Structure 1
Amino acid sequence: LQMAQSLKSESIKTSPIDGQKAGTSGLRKPTKVFTSENYLENFIQATLSALGDSLVGSKLVLGGDGRYFCDVAAGRIVEICAGNGVSEVFVGQNGILSTPTVSCVIRKRQLTGGIVLTASHNPGGPDNDFGVKFKPNGGPAPESFTDKIYANTRSIAEYRVAKGASVDLSKLGRTEFTVDGKPFVVEVGKPRSAYVTSEIVIDSVADYEELMSSIFDFDRLREFIAGGTGCSPTHCMGVMGPYVKRLLCQRLGVPESQAVNCVPLPDFGGGHPDPNLTYAAELVNAMRSGSYDLGLAFDGDGDRNMILGKSGFFVTPCDSLAVLAANLECIPYFKRTGVNGFARSMPTSGAVDLVAKRLGLKCYETESFGTGSDHIREKDGLWAALAWLSVLADKRASVEDIVKAHWAEFGRNFYT
C-alpha cells in the first residue's frame, strides 16, 4: 500500500484533428499519427464525452494487444479517465488484455464499457499501425455511438487530465490518490468493489480463464490431449501468448515448446498478426509434416483464429463456423443453455444457414467477421479453438474427417 497522493484535474487546450472517424472496429491509423500531438488525447476525450451523463462515476476496463505505443497510451488514457470523473478503470497487467477478455470483464463486472488498444490483424511497430476501439456494452460500438465520437472530435476544444494518476502496470499493489478531493485508487491485483473510485490492474488472463472453465470440460480436454492427440505448434501473435500458455499449456497439457511466439512484442517479432495460410506459414509447414493432428493460429488481439488439420488440411472460416454450429452438443455450456440461433457476416458463405435450417433456428447477418458465441458479445479466437478440441474429443475423428462428414450431410459451399 502506498500513501495517498493528492492530484488536481486540469483542462488542456486542443483543437479538432481531421480523420478521427471510427467504425465498429474502432479507429486505426499509422502509429506515427497516433503519437502526434494531441491525437490520442483528442480521440479518448471525444470517446469519453460520448458517454454523456453516464461518464461521471462510470467503470471502464482498459487493455491492449501489446503492440508498440500500448504501454504509453494506457498510461495517458488512465490519466484522462481520472480527469473526467471515471470512478474505476480496470487495467490488464502490463496493459495487456485480449479483445474477448475485455468483453468478458465488462459483462462479469457489469462495467460501463471498455477501451481496447489494438489495430487487430494489422502489423504493429513505430512504422506500422495502432488503433483504439471502445466497447460500450462488451460488443462492437454501434454506429450511433461512433457518430457521437466523431461529432465530438470535430468540435473538441479541450481535454481533461489528472497528471500523475497512473502506476507501473507490471507490479502488483495498491496506490491511493485523491483527484479534486475525491478518492482514486490504483490497484494491481484483484479488484475490491468497496472502493468508490479506483483504477484496478487485473490479471490479464484470470477472468477469461474462469469463463472458459465454465463453458468447456477442461478435464476431458486434458485427458483427450494426454491420450495422444498432437496439438501443433500454436502460432500466436500479440496478446495471445499468455492466454495460450495458461489455458492450452498449463490447463490442458499442450507442451510449451509447441506454443510459438508467446511473448507479446511491440512489433509482433516482425510478423503479420493475421491468422491465414500466408502469414502463418511456419504453422502450415509444421502441419504438412503430418506429425500433428490440430493446428491453431490467432491474430494480435485474440478475436480471430485459423484451424488446420493433419497434413495441413485447411478449415475455411465459413466451414469452421458451420461445423461448430452443427456440433454444439459437444460443449457443456450449450447443453445447459441451449442454442437460440446463429449469425454470420455478410461475406461469410451460407454454410451455417444450412445448419440453422436443419435445426429450425434463425440465422442473422452481422457486420464483423470471426467466430464466437453468446458467452461474450464479441468474436473469440481461443473459444473457437477450445470448441474444436471439444468436437474432436467427442467425435474421436480427425479434423478432415469431421469436415468431410459435415459436407456429406449438409452440402459444401463454395465462393464463385
Structure 2
Amino acid sequence: MKQTVETKPFSDQKPGTSGLRKKVPVFQQEHYAENFIQSVFDSLEGFEGQTLVVGGDGRFLNREVIGKVIAMAAANGFGRAVVGQGGILSTPATSNVIRKRKAFGGFILSASHNPGGPNEDFGIKYNIGNGGPAPEKITDAIFARSKVIGKYYTTDLGVLDLDTLGEREVDGFVIEVIDPVKDYAELMESLFDFGAIQGMFRSGFRMSFDAMHAVTGPYAKEILERRLGAPEGTARNFVPLEDFGGHHPDPNLVYAKDLYDELMGPDAPDFGAASDGDGDRNLIIGRGIFVTPSDSLALLAANAHLAPGYRQGLKGIARSMPTSGAADRVAEKLGVGIYETPTGWKFFGNLLDAGLATICGEESAGTGSDHVREKDGLWAVLLWLNVLAARGQSVKDIVSEHWRTYGRNYYSRHDYEGVETEAANRLVDGLRAKLDTLPGPKINGLTVSAADDFAYHDPVDGSTSKNQGIRILFEGGSRVVFRLSGTGTSGATLRVYIERYEPDPAKHDIETQAALADLIQAAEEVANIKELTGRNIPTVIT
C-alpha cells in the first residue's frame, strides 16, 4: 500500500558531474536518500507502468538504498524494477540493460572510484532512457526540487530477495532479478574478435587484471577467463567487497601501484589492466610502459577498425576538454569530426545519439563508444586485447609507432585533494580575474598565446555550459588547465592538467615530469597554488 511520508528539504543535494555523492553517514540521515530519490521522480514525466533499472557496485549501503529505490519506484507508479543479482550491476552494464530493455531509466548506486565503507563514500546517479547520465536540465530540476520537497512516497514490498534470479510480483509491481554479467558479456562478444583473442592466450600471452575488489570482478572472471580462455588467476581481487578490501578503487598509478610494479618487473606479463569501483574507468599498462588515458583514447581510435564491431570506421571522436589533443590528430588523419566537451560523460550522449561520434574518452581513465552511453572500463581492455591480437605487436611497440606517426603529447594531471573549499574557489576566482591580462607576457619563460574559461556549445541541442575549466595556452601548443572536480565528497579537489606536444621522435623518451617541468612551474606561478592551498606537492600525480 502506498505510503506518504512527510519530510523537510536538505540544502546539499546538488548533483555533481556523476550524481549525488556524500559520505555514508550523510546518506544514513533520516529521509536523506529518500528525499533525493523522490526529487528525481518528481523531475520526470511519463513513467507510469514503465521499467526502472537499478544496480550498484556493491559498496557499503548498496543493498539498503536499492531497497528504498525499488519501494519508492513502486509507490510512484513504475510497473517493473530490473535489478542485478546481489545488487551488483556495473555502470556500463546498467546502461546496456536500460537500452536493451527500452527501460524508462535507471539508478546507479555508486561513488565510482571513491573509497567505500561505513565512513567512506556513497552515491546515487540517475540515467535516462538512452542509458546515459541525466543531462544538466534534469539534474538542475532535481536540485531545485530537493530544496522545496515536503513529502515522498514509498510502499512495503516485504522482504526483498536480491539473490534469487527471476521475477516476483507485489500488488501488480514486478521485481526482476537478473544475471548482472550475461547481457553485457554477450554485447562484448558481438563487438570483438573473441576467436583471435582466445588464440593469443593459447599461444602463451600473459595478462594481469586487477578488479580492485570492485564491480568488474565477476565480469572479468566470466569474460577473460571463461569465455576468452585466459589462465585462472588472470583476474585478481575479483570478489566485490563493501569496502573494496580497505583500498581505494581508483585505477591509477598510485592506487594500482602493485600492478604497475609487476608490469615494470623482470618477469612482467604482456599486458596489465585494472578497473574502478563501478566499472567505468580503466588502467592500461604494457610490459615496461604505462599508457596514459589520453594516449589510450587516441590509440584505440586509430586501431578500432581491427575489431569487428568497428570495421565500418568511426563517425567521429569526442574528448573532454582536459584530455590531451592526441585524439585530435587521429581524427584529422581519419577525416572524421573531433568534439571537445566539458568533463562529464553526460556531454557525450547527444553526440553519440546524433551519430556524430563513435568513440569518446576522458583523461581521467574513462573510455567508451556508442555501444552504451557510459564510459566502459572492461570494453577498453577488450578493445586493447583485440588490437594486440590483430597486430601481433607488444604494447610498447604499438605506442612507439603511434608516436612516430602522430607525435607525442606529454601529459600529466596533478591532483590536490581535500583542499579547503573556500581556498580552492579563491584560486579559481583569481585566475578568472586575470584571464584578459595573461596573453602576451611570459610565465617562467613561456609566452601565453591565449587564456579562457572553457564554455561548450552543444552542436546537437544548442545548449551552453560555461565555466568548465580555465585554459592557459602557450606558444608551440603547450597548455595548462585548472579545474575543480565534481566527483569528491569532502572539500575540493583542484586538478591541474599539463600538456606539451612533441613532434620529434628523437625527443619521445624523456621522463614525463621532466618534459613538463617548465610548464609545472608556470602553473604554480600563475595560480599561486602553494600560497592559496597550503600544499607544497600534489596528492596524486597521474
2:41 equivalent in structure 1 = 48
Q: Write the distance in 2 (CA, Å) between the matches of 1:354 and 1:208.
A: 32
1:27 equivalent in structure 2 = 20
Q: TM-score under structure 1 normalisation?
A: 0.91
Q: Write the distance in 2 (CA, Å) between the matches of 1:48 and 1:266.
A: 27
1:130 equivalent in structure 2 = 122
Q: Write the distance in 2 (CA, Å) between the matches of 1:99 and 1:358.
A: 32
Residue 146 in structure 1 maps to residue 139 in structure 2? yes
CA contact (8 A) 2:209 2:235 kept: yes
2:374 equivalent in structure 1 = 378
Instruction: Give identity over the alignment, percent.
Output: 51
1:188 equivalent in structure 2 = none
1:221 equivalent in structure 2 = 197
Residue 394 in structure 1 maps to residue 390 in structure 2? yes
Which structure would you say has the larger RCO, counting Cα contacts within 8 Å and 6 or more residues apart?
1
Answer 1 or 2: which has greater strand percent.
2
Amino acid in structure 2 at the alignment position of 1:134? Y
CA contact (8 A) 1:31 1:126 kept: yes
* Offset at residue 256 of structure 1 (A): 2.7
Q: Write the distance in 1 (CA, Å) between the matches of 2:97 and 2:318.
A: 23
Residue 355 in structure 1 maps to residue 326 in structure 2? no
* Offset at residue 237 of structure 1 (A): 3.7
CA RMSD of aligned residues (A): 1.2
1:288-367 alignment, distance < 5 Å: 288-289=264-265, 290-311=267-288, 313-335=289-311, 337-366=312-341, 367=343
- Partner SS state of residue 176, structure 1: strand
CA contact (8 A) 1:241 1:263 kept: yes
Q: TM-score under structure 2 normalisation?
A: 0.70
1:79-228 alignment, distance < 5 Å: 79-136=71-128, 137-164=130-157, 167-178=160-171, 183-184=172-173, 198-228=174-204
Q: Write the distance in 2 (CA, Å) between the matches of 1:150 and 1:58.
A: 24
- Partner SS state of residue 43, structure 1: helix
Q: Write the distance in 2 (CA, Å) between the matches of 1:275 and 1:251.
A: 24
Q: Write the distance in 2 (CA, Å) between the matches of 1:166 and 1:61.
A: 19
CA contact (8 A) 1:123 1:268 kept: yes
CA contact (8 A) 1:90 1:201 kept: yes
Structure showing greater Rg? 2
Q: Write the distance in 2 (CA, Å) between the matches of 1:114 and 1:215.
A: 24
2:237 equivalent in structure 1 = 261
CA contact (8 A) 2:167 2:177 kept: no
Q: Write the distance in 2 (CA, Å) between the matches of 1:72 and 1:215.
A: 35
Distance verdict in 2 for CA 1:21–1:241, change over 3 Å: same
Amino acid in structure 1 at the alignment position of 2:176? I
- Partner SS state of residue 86, structure 1: coil
Q: Residue 230 of structure 1: which of 195, 202, 206 is its match? A: 206
Unaligned runs of 5+ in 2: 345-361, 411-498, 500-518, 520-542
Residue 412 in structure 1 maps to residue 388 in structure 2? no
* Offset at residue 58 of structure 1 (A): 2.4
Unaligned runs of 5+ in 1: 1-7, 185-197
- Partner SS state of residue 378, structure 1: coil
2:6 equivalent in structure 1 = 13
CA contact (8 A) 2:166 2:178 kept: no
* Offset at residue 235 of structure 1 (A): 4.1
Q: Residue 226 of structure 2: which of 250, 258, 261 is its match? A: 250
Q: Write the distance in 2 (CA, Å) between the matches of 1:320 and 1:228.
A: 24
